[in-house]
Amino acid sequence: MSTKNLSNICNHSLIESKAVDLLSLDVKNISSFADEIILATATSNRHAVSVSEQLVDRLKENKFHILGVEGEIDSGWILVDCGEVVINIMRQEQRDFYDLEGLWGENTLLKKNNK
């Protein structure tokens, strides 16, 4: 299946899980490990875990391969690696501190969803 389809399923799952400030970055031409990075904000550590669990379930339902899920419940940051698309679910404090948007640069912005 295509990266676009994978990205759409991820974004829909994140929205349904009430993650906010979704941002998709196109890193295909500057990264060797992924084509797209999705950033999403969770309201708490437990919310981040819930969002990631629902995302993993949705990906499995749609027969997408998940390379790994990283992050502890108290870390405030969970990463779901699907190969072409990597999803970062973070509490606002971690998102502000690590500033992945700034790290990858504004030229990578694909879409922003503020729901």
Contacts for 64 with CB less than 8 Å, ≥ 6 apart: 1, 6, 9, 82
- Using CA atoms, how far apart are residues 49 and 52, in angstroms rounded to an integer? 5
Walk along the chain (115 residues) and give the pLDDT tens digit of each residue: 577 899 999 999 999 999 999 999 988 888 889 999 999 999 999 999 999 999 999 999 999 999 999 998 889 999 999 999 999 999 999 999 999 888 877 665 555 665 4
Determine contact, residues 6/86, Cβ cutoff 8 Å: no
Within-domain flag for 7? yes
Domain ranges, residue 75:
3-99
The reply to whether 93 falls in a domain is yes
| Cα radius of gyration (the chain) | 13
**Tokens (6 digits) for 82:** 């699907």
The answer to the question of residue 51 being in a domain is yes
Domain annotation covers residue 108: no
**Does residue 115 lie in a domain region?**
no
* HSE-up (13 A, CA, CB side) for residue 58: 21
Total tally of structural domains belonging to the chain:
1
Grouping H, G, I as helix, E, B as strand and the rest as coil, residue 94 is helix
Which CATH number do you get for residue 85?
A: 3.30.460.10
